[in-house]
């Protein structure tokens, strides 16, 4: 087992000026499950490949334990990688696929068989050891790829979107199995995904990347409750946080027909660069449906109701007074409200909602950084 440290690690692809990964500083504890998450092209897979030795490091260093592996060959880094496309040999049996790396390393046959059988038992693959990959389902093939990593007994597991090729139900089931398996084995794991739901449910900590720059690192609860900037606030959480840009007047902002007072500590942090504006966010579950005319309430016209059984979400348009600011993307003024699934409004109906006390997130209009 070992820690992993990115020390100002930078990757610039030939022919480009902007780094794919820019000055990444990140420390991963021994035995920790860390998830790298972000939109496509943010640098998460490049960061993983730098750690694996599959991409050159143009600046900074990478450490596994106390050892600087920046210029060490991939085969000598003591890592095992699980890929999105399984990367199994079609002509080999499951057992041969799982034990192939050990065979190449010259491990005795008896030890290979022992390790393969142990891994197969952990992954519930014992009855499939003599089958070829084509006779397995997608979930079983992914478990074989996991088994191939486990038998190597590496210091670090690297997983690059391993669930992307699975259907929705199997993806949920397999992510639970991977998280449980990692905790059982206690091996340091770096897991890459674009799915923030996977990140929130699997990781001990999450690192959010955007445009090659690390935005925030923290536990799933920290990321959800205290996003450090507007990007993280909008990326983490499903459905997304309601985020709007508002003009501050007399220490208040207008959301629809409601005037929302700002805390003095937040109002004092507004600078000249903000030009009297602020960015506010509030999550769908931070809104309560209230009676019309309630103090601090604003009206939402229902456009769509998403019913999920145990939950329901209203996607509606904010009925805004002139100069009240913009909520949502562009001119849509969309607001998302979590509601009682047993009391669902009809499309076209208007509901009144109020933000729960202390449930707003304030960000600088100029920098996007958290103020509250």
Please determine, for residue 288, whether its predicted confidence score (pLDDT) is greater than 70.
Answer: yes
Reduce the secondary structure of the chain to three states and give it as a string.
Answer: CCCEEEEEEEECCCCCCCCCEEEEEEEECCCCEEEEECCCCCCHHHHHHHHHCCCCCCEEEEEECCEECCCCCHHHCCEEEECCCCCCCCCCCHHHHHHHHHHHCCCCHHHHHHHHHHHHHHHCCHHHCCCCHHHCCHHHHHHHHHHHHHHCCCCEEEEECCCCCCCHHHHHHHHHHHHHHHHHHCCEEEEEECCHHHHHHHCCEEEEEECCEEEEEECHHHHHHCCCEHHHHHHCCCCCCEEEEEECECCEEEECCEEEECCHHHHCCCCHHHCCEEEEEECHHHEEEECCCCCCEEEEEEEEEEECCCCEEEEEEECCCCCCCEECCCCCCEEEEEECCCCCCCCCCEEEEEECCCCCEEEECCCCEECC
Whole-number pLDDT of residue 19: 95
Q: At which residue do the structure tokens 């935005």 appear?
A: 215
Instruction: Check if CATH label 1.10.1060.10 holds for domain 4-231.
Output: no
pLDDT band at 138 (very low <50, low <70, confident <90, very high): confident
Per-residue pLDDT tens over the stretch 303-317 = 999 999 899 999 999
Whole-number pLDDT of residue 11: 96
How far is residue 85 CA from its own chain's centroid?
20
Please determine, for residue 258, whether its predicted confidence score (pLDDT) is greater than 50.
Answer: yes
pLDDT band at 329 (very low <50, low <70, confident <90, very high): very low
Whole-number pLDDT of residue 323: 46
Please determine, for residue 276, whether its predicted confidence score (pLDDT) is greater than 80.
Answer: yes
Cα dihedral 200/202/208/211 (nearest 10):
-110
Question: What does the domain layout of the chain look like in residue ranges?
Answer: 4-231, 242-364
Question: Between vectors from CA 283 to CA 278 and to CA 288, what angle results, nearest 5°?
Answer: 110
Signed CA dihedral, 31, 65, 52, 145: sign only: negative
Per-residue pLDDT tens over the stretch 59-93 = 999 999 999 999 999 989 999 998 888 888 999 99
Average pLDDT over residues 281-289: 95
Question: Rounded to whole angstroms, how far apart are CA atoms 366 and 372?
Answer: 15
Whole-number pLDDT of residue 32: 96
Residue 130's CB: how many other CB atoms inside 10 A?
10
Percent of the chain with pLDDT strictly greater than 70 = 96
Please determine, for residue 321, whether its predicted confidence score (pLDDT) is greater than 80.
Answer: no
Please determine, for residue 296, whether its predicted confidence score (pLDDT) is greater than 60.
Answer: yes
Average pLDDT over residues 321-343: 71
Average of per-residue pLDDT values in the chain: 90
Percent of the chain with pLDDT strictly greater than 90 = 65
Please determine, for residue 324, whether its predicted confidence score (pLDDT) is greater than 80.
Answer: no
Please determine, for residue 20, whether its predicted confidence score (pLDDT) is greater than 50.
Answer: yes
pLDDT band at 330 (very low <50, low <70, confident <90, very high): very low
Among 48-62, 142-156, 159-173, 208-222, which is the least confidently predicted range?
159-173
Per-residue pLDDT tens over the stretch 228-253 = 999 999 999 989 999 999 999 888 89
Whole-number pLDDT of residue 188: 96
Identify the architecture of domain 242-364 in CATH. Answer: Beta Barrel (2.40)
Average pLDDT over residues 37-45: 94
Residue 41 has φ and ψ, to the nearest 5°, of 85, 10
Whole-number pLDDT of residue 122: 86
Average pLDDT over residues 146-150: 90
Average pLDDT over residues 198-215: 95
């Amino acid at each position: 087992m070992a820690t992993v440290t990115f020390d100002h690690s930078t990757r610039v692809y030939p022919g480009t000026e902007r780094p794919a990964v820019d000055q990444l500083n990140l420390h991963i504890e021994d035995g920790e499950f860390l998830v790298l998450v972000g939109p496509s092209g943010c640098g998460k897979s490049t960061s993983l490949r730098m750690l694996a030795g599959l991409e050159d490091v143009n600046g900074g260093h990478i450490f596994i334990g106390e050892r600087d592996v920046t210029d060490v060959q991939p085969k000598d880094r003591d890592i095992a990688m699980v890929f999105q496309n399984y990367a199994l040999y079609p002509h080999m049996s499951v057992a041969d696929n799982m034990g192939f790396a050990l065979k190449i390393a010259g491990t005795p046959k008896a030890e290979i068989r022992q390790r393969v059988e142990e891994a197969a038992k952990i992954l519930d693959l014992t009855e499939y050891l003599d089958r070829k990959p084509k006779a397995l389902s997608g979930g079983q093939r992914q478990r074989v790829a996991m088994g191939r990593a486990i038998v190597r007994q590496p210091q670090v597991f690297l997983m690059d979107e391993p669930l992307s090729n699975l259907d929705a139900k199997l993806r949920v089931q397999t992510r639970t199995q991977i998280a449980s398996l990692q905790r059982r084995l206690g091996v340091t794991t770096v897991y890459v995904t674009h799915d923030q739901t996977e990140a929130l449910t699997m990781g001990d900590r999450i690192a959010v990347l955007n445009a090659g720059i690390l935005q925030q690192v923290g536990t799933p609860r920290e990321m959800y409750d205290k996003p450090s900037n507007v990007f993280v606030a909008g990326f983490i959480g499903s459905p997304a946080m309601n985020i709007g840009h508002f003009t501050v007047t007399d220490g208040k902002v207008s959301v629809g027909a409601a005037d929302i007072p700002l805390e003095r500590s937040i109002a004092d942090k507004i600078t000249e660069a903000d030009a009297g504006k602020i960015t506010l966010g509030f999550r769908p579950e931070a809104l309560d449906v209230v009676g019309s005319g309630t103090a601090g309430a604003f009206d939402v016209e229902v456009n769509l109701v998403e019913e999920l059984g145990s939950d329901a979400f209203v996607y509606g348009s904010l009925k805004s007074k002139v100069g009240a600011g913009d909520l949502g993307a562009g001119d849509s003024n969309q607001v998302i409200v979590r509601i009682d699934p047993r009391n669902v409004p009809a499309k076209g109906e208007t509901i009144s909602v109020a933000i729960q006390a202390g449930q707003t997130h304030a960000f600088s209009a100029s920098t996007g950084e958290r103020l509250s």
